[in-house]
């Protein structure tokens, strides 16, 4: 499970991941033709197919490492080696690098407290990747643009989804997502928790509002699909959120537990179309909502902990095969009935793959590990989630080679003239 620390820019790594570059299989000198393959003396029985890269990495991971892949906490500090009392108090390890090593983390999410300057963020993401010895990290953030823009201190100020939706121009939606992705990737961020796929049908919604593309399911679906394609163009993972739909609520799931009273037919007509469109467009991840949806699951548990919703609807009915991420597990909407360890276990049992921002990482990690060792979470179920996460990393060129961002490239991309012109076209 060794991996090389790349010395090329992110752009070169991305090209290599999709088959470009001089090291690609079948590459030839400029203007030349590929030489014929060397003859083989192996019989068909001797020539067995090698395991794919994901299976090969998975086979070398311990149970502890597999469990760690599921977690994406927020870490404190502006460099991988910043000693922080907050890290010590929360994770019993002082620096981000030590937290990554201690819990074998699969990912880290960045917030404004991690962002001071372009060069500093590049050094941070490179340092975080170096700290992950087994498999490269998913480094994520919430860069929806508009109201939720964690990297706004250094990135182009693009308008939010509602203003893009008002243009009804899917090309603009795709272009803004691609430009956002390019800026994130230049900083070493490879996953964005965007776009918002909720349909804002309730004018009193305190948490979605202008974060959504609008109130028309068909328009939102088109805009979401275009954004997903834009992020794919930039080779950054996109996340449609918040499944099964957070648009019709008067309660903020950060502070309470919303209940959505749509019938199943209303869900099919109002809430589902943008998620279906995102899946059809190839979205990498879907984030769950901490909402109770009685007509989809009568248990009273929020969707994040609901197997009928995450597995029954999202996996089986809509056919989604990518990564299911929870919304932040420190939010009040998911912490009404269970402790922090049980929440993590139930999220996995419901169908989640990525456990975002657990309120108590040590407790959550140990609870999931104990559940696997006891058989409550089967090893097969754990392997399903880890395989999806590794598959996403492979798709983004992260599996066998640690990406390395370049401060020079980031300075060229961030707030470029083209990106500022694009923001102005939308009305920013």
- Around Cβ 375, how many Cβ atoms within 10 Å? 8
CA distances from 161 to 43, 146, 286 (A): 58, 7, 17
Q: What is the DSSP string of 37-93?
A: PPP----TTT-PPPPPHHHHHHHT--HHHHHHHTEE-B--SSSTT---HHHHHHHS-
Compute the distance between CA of residue 191 and CA of residue 197 in angstroms, rounded to an integer: 16
Which residue in 81, 216, 233, 254 is the catalytic one?
254
Compute the distance between CA of residue 292 and CA of residue 333 in angstroms, rounded to an integer: 9
Indicate if 271 belongs to the active site: no
* Backbone dihedral angles phi then psi of residue 42, each to the nearest 5 degrees: -75, 140
Decide if 90 contacts 365 (C-beta within 8 A).
Answer: no
Neighbouring residues of 160: CB distance < 8 A, sequence distance ≥ 6: 144, 145, 146, 147, 148, 210, 211
For the packed helices 217-233 and 272-280, what is the interaxial angle rounded to 10 degrees?
30
CA distances from 422 to 115, 253, 417 (A): 24, 33, 9
Q: Is 227 exposed, middle or buried (0-12, 13-18, 19+ CB in 10 A)?
A: buried
Decide if 303 contacts 289 (C-beta within 8 A).
Answer: yes
Which residue in 192, 327, 353, 360 is the catalytic one?
327
Decide if 324 contacts 282 (C-beta within 8 A).
Answer: no
Coil, helix or strand for 5? Answer: strand
Compute the distance between CA of residue 227 and CA of residue 229 in angstroms, rounded to an integer: 5
Indicate if 327 belongs to the active site: yes
- Please choose, from the candidates 161, 153, 89, 79, the residue with its C-alpha nearest in 3D space to the C-alpha of residue 120: 79
For the packed helices 170-187 and 217-233, what is the interaxial angle rounded to 10 degrees?
40
Compute the distance between CA of residue 352 and CA of residue 388 in angstroms, rounded to an integer: 11
CA distances from 243 to 56, 246, 251, 310 (A): 32, 7, 16, 8
Which residues are identified as catalytic?
254, 327
């Amino acid at each position: 499970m060794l991996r090389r620390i790349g010395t090329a820019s992110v752009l070169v790594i991305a090209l290599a991941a999709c088959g470009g570059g001089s090291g690609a299989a079948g590459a030839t000198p400029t203007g030349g033709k590929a030489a014929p393959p060397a003859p083989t003396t192996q019989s068909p029985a001797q020539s067995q197919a090698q395991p794919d890269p994901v299976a090969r990495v998975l086979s070398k991971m311990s149970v502890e490492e597999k469990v760690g892949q599921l977690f994406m906490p927020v870490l404190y500090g502006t460099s991988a080696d910043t000693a922080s009392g907050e890290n010590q108090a929360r994770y019993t390890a002082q620096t981000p690098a030590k937290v990554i090593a201690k819990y074998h983390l699969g990912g880290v999410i960045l917030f404004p407290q991690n962002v001071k300057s372009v060069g500093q963020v590049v050094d941070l993401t490179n340092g975080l990747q170096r700290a992950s010895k087994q498999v490269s990290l998913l480094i994520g953030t919430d860069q929806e643009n508009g109201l939720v823009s964690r990297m706004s201190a250094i990135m182009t100020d693009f308008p939010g989804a509602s203003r893009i939706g008002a243009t009804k121009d899917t090309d603009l939606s795709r272009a803004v997502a691609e430009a956002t992705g390019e800026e994130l990737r230049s900083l070493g961020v490879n996953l964005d928790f965007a776009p918002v796929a909720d349909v804002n049908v309730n004018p009193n919604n305190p948490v979605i509002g202008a974060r959504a593309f609008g109130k028309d399911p068909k328009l939102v679906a088109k805009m979401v699909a275009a954004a997903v394609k834009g992020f794919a163009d930039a080779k950054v993972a996109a996340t449609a959120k918040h499944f099964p739909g957070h648009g019709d609520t008067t309660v903020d799931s950060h502070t309470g537990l919303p209940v959505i009273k749509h019938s199943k037919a209303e869900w099919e007509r109002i809430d589902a179309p943008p998620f279906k469109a995102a899946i059809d467009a190839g979205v990498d991840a879907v984030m769950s909502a901490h909402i109770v949806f009685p007509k989809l699951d009568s248990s009273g548990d929020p969707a994040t902990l609901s197997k009928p919703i995450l597995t029954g609807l999202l996996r089986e009915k809509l056919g989604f095969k990518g990564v299911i991420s929870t919304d932040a597990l420190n939010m009040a909407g998911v912490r009404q009935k269970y402790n922090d360890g049980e929440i993590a276990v139930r999220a996995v049992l419901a169908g989640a793959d990525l456990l975002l921002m657990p309120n108590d990482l040590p407790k959550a990690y140990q609870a999931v590990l104990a559940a696997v060792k006891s058989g409550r979470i089967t090893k097969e179920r754990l392997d399903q989630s880890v395989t999806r996460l590794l598959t996403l990393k492979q798709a983004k060129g992260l599996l066998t080679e640690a990406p390395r961002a370049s401060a020079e490239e980031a300075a060229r991309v961030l707030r470029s003239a083209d990106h500022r012109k694009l923001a102005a076209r939308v009305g920013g």
